[in-house]
Amino acid sequence: MQIRAQDVAAFLGGSVVGDADTLLSGIAGLNEAKTGDLSFLANPKYGPMLATTQASAVLVAEAREGIRPAQIVVANPDLAFAKLVTAFGPKPIHPAVGVHPTAVIGERVQLGANVRIGPQVVIGDDAVIGDDTVLYPQVVIGAQAQVGADCVLYAHASVRERCRLGSRVILQPGAVIGSDGFGYALQDGKHTKIPQVGIAVVEDDVEIGANTTIDRARFGKTRIGAGTKIDNLVQIAHNVETGSHCIIVAQVGIAGSTRLGNYVTLGGQAGITGHITIGDQASVTAQSGVSKSIPPKAIMRGSPAQEFKAFQAQEVHLRRLGTTQQTVKSLEQRVAELEALVKKLTEKAG
């Protein structure tokens, strides 16, 4: 399929700078694009690539002079590119509507309209699956669990007994919702398991990455707020609650009973201790270790984490440590020389 640059601009509500009749037949990144491809510039640091890209047209936030490709100017190139890929890119290959003959469906299970249940899916007794939901091969839904409408659960994802997913939830392969919280009591020299009798609740429009685990609560519920996006290999412990629209990047670990506000961002490999609160719109940079509560809108860095500007100041001082050490040695030598001179003058005067 071919489409003109001006038609793409009209679809996105943008405008064209350059040849509006440029024909486009593919979508690719700036570095990989070839003639006929549409690309995009979302991060300004990749701006120099506009001079070398082979793309025929590029989505940009602001038009630039001297650029060969046609420029389609939009408010948000990243979002516009996503909209185009959704509309014109490859479509997901879901299992067929209906229940595959190898699926195992328990007693009193409620299946919504147009569900797609793939091979070797297991659904426990009294579970509920919402309309238009897709379960890929070998997904496991526990007894009395609830999965909302328009969800997509990829292969080997698990939702354990009594846990709940809202609507439009995506679980990437191997995601586990409702695994036991890590709780033991030491008795007679042995670690005795503490039962985890709560549940995990994932609200609407959440996406959870591959092999991420969200533990069920000891009592009550672990909750992931609406619109939150969680990357791969994240561990969220029992009774954690996140607000809405949080971003949690790969390999983050959050210990039990911690509370996240709305729009919190946790960078990759950040570690969050238990029983603290992270305020709305706070950010924690990658590999930081958080041991105390964080106020709203704070930006924290380091281990132990501290306010970003304070940490930056310490980094500057550390980088100057070698020079500072030499300066101190030089000053010590000068002081010693001055002391020797004063002593000599004093002895002479006496």
Instruction: Tell me how far apart the alpha carbons of residues 292 and 92 are, in angstroms, rounded to a whole number.
Output: 43
Find out whether 280 and 264 touch, Cβ atoms under 8 Å. Answer: yes
| Cα first-last separation, the chain | 103
Single out the residue of 40, 50, 48, 122 nearest to residue 81, CA to CA. Answer: 40
Per-position b or e across 222-231, b if 16+ CB within 10 A of its CB? bbbbbbbebb
pTM score of the predicted model: 0.86
At 344, is the pLDDT very low, low, confident or very high (cuts 50, 70, 90)? confident
- What's the whole-number mean pLDDT along residues 77-105? 93
Residue 128, pLDDT > 90, answer yes
Instruction: Tell me how far apart the alpha carbons of residues 331 and 307 are, in angstroms, rounded to a whole number.
Output: 33
Q: What pLDDT shows up at residue 163?
A: 98
Instruction: Tell me how far apart the alpha carbons of residues 272 and 240 are, in angstroms, rounded to a whole number.
Output: 11
**pLDDT 10s digits, 142-168:** 999 999 999 999 999 999 999 999 999
Chain-centroid distance of CA 146 in Å reads 24
98-309: which CATH topology?
UDP N-Acetylglucosamine Acyltransferase; domain 1 (2.160.10)
- Active-site amino acid positions: 238
**pLDDT 10s digits, 218-258:** 999 999 999 999 999 999 999 999 999 999 999 999 999 99
Instruction: Tell me how far apart the alpha carbons of residues 92 and 207 are, in angstroms, rounded to a whole number.
Output: 16
Single out the residue of 190, 159, 184 nearest to residue 174, CA to CA. Answer: 159
CATH of 3-88, one of 3.40.50.620, 3.40.50.2000, 3.30.2130.30, 3.40.1390.10: 3.40.1390.10
* Token couple for 24: 């486009």
At 88, is the pLDDT very low, low, confident or very high (cuts 50, 70, 90)? confident
- What's the whole-number mean pLDDT along residues 193-202? 97
**pLDDT 10s digits, 58-70:** 999 999 998 999 9
Instruction: Tell me how far apart the alpha carbons of residues 240 and 255 are, in angstroms, rounded to a whole number.
Output: 7
Q: What pLDDT shows up at residue 236?
A: 98
